[in-house]
Amino acid sequence: MKNNLLITLLLISMAFASCNRRSQLLYMQNIDETTEVPFATPPAYKLGAGDILYIQLVTYSPEVSMAFNNPTGSQYMTRAQDESSLYLSGYTVDSEGFVKLPFLGEAQVKGLTLDEARSIIQQKTNALYKDASVIVKLASYKVTIVGEVRRPGVVRNFNENLNVFEAIAAVGDINENGDRRNVLVVRPTINGNKTYRLNLSDKSALASEAFYLLPNDVVIVEPIGNKIFQMNAPYFTLTFSAISTIILMYNFITKL
């Protein structure tokens, strides 16, 4: 009887251990209406080789604009456009850091922010056309999210900035097995990959350098510690059931 009671208690303990606590599923637990929360400043992304730029020339002359721009113009930045259209119609920064532009020639943009790149291209434009304005946007802004989220994949961003909550929401949120307290962000830099750890259960994440994601960042949501226990729970249950059966048989035989 004592053995059966012990096994029952062990099985109940396993069931409780496999359940996630409510605190493991909440974001920003230490924020209330009186909390003053510092926010990180969105970092300025520096263009690099392989980036794809959306560049359009706006002038009073339709002929000049049409000669420079792609026929479908601003449609390239709509969400309906697929990746292949952006790749074929945009201007790719080559391995030397240049973009080749119709009539304007090459412009060195590697290591520049979007505003700095626009200024360089605007200067080239002013030499040929009067009263012309240049639009420059990043068409290849994407981050990758893998691990314990509902729909792992690539998130494409068509805004100026993207924070980690927006990115996670785009893949359906972190699932019940994801560790919100230890999210890994891997960021490529010219000096190699840089890593950050974000505790999304704490307001400190809002001030982190990695709160705003940069193009080509990888977000990895790791499993909480009891996921492995949950995965192995059926085997543990089977083992304890077998042990329980053996003990019952032993008790039965010894009473004969």
Give the domain ranges of the chain: 2-13+229-255, 22-43+141-221, 52-138
CA atoms of 179 and 15, how far apart (whole Å) = 19
pLDDT for 74 equals 44
Q: Are 167 and 219 in contact (CB under 8 A)?
A: yes
Question: What distance in Å separates the CA atoms of residue 65 and residue 215, rounded to the nearest whole number?
Answer: 29
Residue 221 has pLDDT above 80, yes or no: yes
Tokens representing residue 45 in the block = 């992304």
202 pLDDT more than 70: yes
Question: Which superfamily is assigned to 22-43+141-221 in CATH?
Answer: Outer membrane lipoprotein wza domain like (3.10.560.10)
| pLDDT value of position 250 | 60
pLDDT tier at 194, thresholds 50, 70, 90: very high
Read off the pTM: 0.74
**Higher-confidence residue: 215 or 253?**
215
Section 39-52 average pLDDT: 92
What rounded mean pLDDT belongs to the chain?
A: 81
Tokens of 145: 């999210």
24-28, 56-60, 92-96, 167-171: segment of lowest average pLDDT: 24-28
- Rounded CA Rg of the chain: 28
Q: Decide if 174 contacts 148 (C-beta within 8 A).
A: yes
CA–CA gap between residue 221 and residue 208 (Å, rounded):
17
**pLDDT tens per residue, range 106-158:** 999 999 999 999 999 999 999 888 888 999 999 999 999 999 999 999 999 98
Mean pLDDT of 160-177: 96
Q: In 3D, which of 183, 175, 116 has the Cα closest to residue 148?
A: 175
Residue 16 CA, distance from chain mean position: 32
Average pLDDT over residues 183-202: 94
Helix axes 226-255, 2-18, angle to 10 degrees: 170
CA 21 to CA 26: how far, in whole Å?
Answer: 10
Q: What local confidence, expressed as pLDDT, does residue 15 receive? A: 47
Q: Which residues of 94-115 are buried (b: 16+ CB within 10 A; e: fewer)?
A: eeebbbebeebeebebbebebe
- What lies within 8 Å, CB to CB, of 87 at 6+ separation is 52
Highest mean pLDDT among 60-69, 129-138, 218-227: 129-138
Q: Is the pLDDT of residue 166 over 90?
A: yes
Check whether 171 has a pLDDT greater than 60. yes
Report the C-alpha dihedral over residues 216, 96, 114, 60, rounded to 10 degrees.
-130
* CATH number for the domain formed by residue range(s) 52-138: 3.30.1950.10
